[in-house]
Amino acid sequence: MATQQKKAAMDIFPAKLIRQICLEAGADEVGFVEIDRPELAQERQGILENYPATQTIISLSRALNRENVQSPARPLYNGEVRRTEEDLSRISGEIMRHLNSQDIRGVILNPAFPMDMNRWPGKTWDVSHKTMAVEAGIGVMGLNRLVLSPRFGSNIFLNSILINAQVDPYDQRLEQNPCLNCRLCAAVCPTGAVQKDGAFDFLACATHSYRDLSGGFDWAAALLTSGDLGEYRAQFQDRETMGLWQSLLFGFNHKCGYCQAVCPVGDVGMPRYLADKKGYFQELVKPLKERAEPVYVLPGSQAESRVKSNSHKEIRYAKLARPLQ
């Protein structure tokens, strides 16, 4: 194993060959980043802890079906998210098997979960796939804080593979940011997490969209501390219990993702938006902005004021089980 690692590390593999392996396995976009690139300074420790022999990071994207992402029926969005994440994990495994046959070794990271919950409430992920995708020239971060690929816009999921071989040539950042600064993502965001000046309120988004995941951890406390069913039901309505129960049984569901849904960037959305901006707003932004639904907020937060200003939304208060750092 040690000899194999050294051998591959000394070889330099043509990017064309590895790219072909990745695309044939089902990735939609691929790029390569060298481990010693200065822009990876914040990420290097996490990468090397996962795989000390890393020479190259392979960044991959897989596109989601745009219409599922845009549908006001959020179970359709969540089904598509789940399929795409599973596809991406399977594709990454397939790529690694092919690379192994070329004498290249490495590790496949997880697109999202599982993460290292021993570090909760700190940073539980090791490598930011967005940073890798930006460096690999797959896309640029838009106002919505998602990587926008010129071809698929924000409708991509990302993963990274760490390998022990060098690749030639490496990819570079895109020169142009495809973000139009149309601010539709900020307009549709029910919690005000995406802000027009480019700031992002991490806690507002996590409290609402991740309600059935980490945001819903106060459920455990309510189950433990409620004296009787009445006291429990005063904190969690039956529909909320069913939502959490469903997420536990079938995999968790996001409450939102609207900033991903409305972004016009990409081959399909951009011409449609530029041809008829008002029509685009009516058809794709308004139904989500005015969707009747509960929105979860922390008391006293900016998200609370934001939800109160939208008469279509029902405010629901969440508790932090422990303060986030």
Q: Which residues of this protein are in contact with ligand SF4, per CB under 6 A?
A: 142-144, 179-185, 189-191, 193-194, 205, 208-209, 256-259, 262-265
- For ligand SF4, give the closer residue by CB, 60 or 262: 262
294 three-state secondary structure: strand
Element (H, E) at 166: strand 166-168
Q: How far is the CB of 198 from ligand SF4 (least distance, A)?
A: 10
Cα 33 to Cα 56, 83, 281, 289, distances in angstroms: 6, 27, 37, 38
Query: Which does residue 208 bind out of ligand B12, ligand SF4, none, counting CB within 5 to 8 angstroms by kind?
Result: ligand SF4
Q: How far is the CB of 183 from ligand SF4 (least distance, A)?
A: 5
Q: How far is the CB of 225 from ligand SF4 (least distance, A)?
A: 28
- Binding residues for ligand B12 (CB under 6 A): 111-112, 122-123, 125, 127-131, 144-147, 154, 156-159, 194, 200, 202, 205-206, 209-210, 254, 256-257, 259-260, 325
Between CA 204 and CA 287 the distance in angstroms is: 21
Q: Which residue has the tokens 């986030």?
A: 324
E strands in the chain: 12-14, 29-34, 56-63, 106-108, 140-141, 147-148, 156-163, 166-168, 293-297, 313-317
- For ligand B12, give the closer residue by CB, 128 or 241: 128
Query: Which does residue 183 bind out of ligand SF4, ligand B12, none, counting CB within 5 to 8 angstroms by kind?
Result: ligand SF4
Q: How far is the CB of 111 from ligand SF4 (least distance, A)?
A: 16
Q: How far is the CB of 28 from ligand SF4 (least distance, A)?
A: 19
Token representation of residue 30: 């691929």
Token representation of residue 285: 């932004």
Query: Which does residue 258 bind out of ligand SF4, ligand B12, none, counting CB within 5 to 8 angstroms by kind?
Result: ligand SF4
What's the burial of 181, exposed, middle or buried (CB within 10 Å: 0-12/13-18/19+)?
exposed
Looking at residue 40, its amino acid is L
Query: Which does residue 170 bind out of ligand B12, ligand SF4, none, counting CB within 5 to 8 angstroms by kind?
Result: none
157 three-state secondary structure: strand
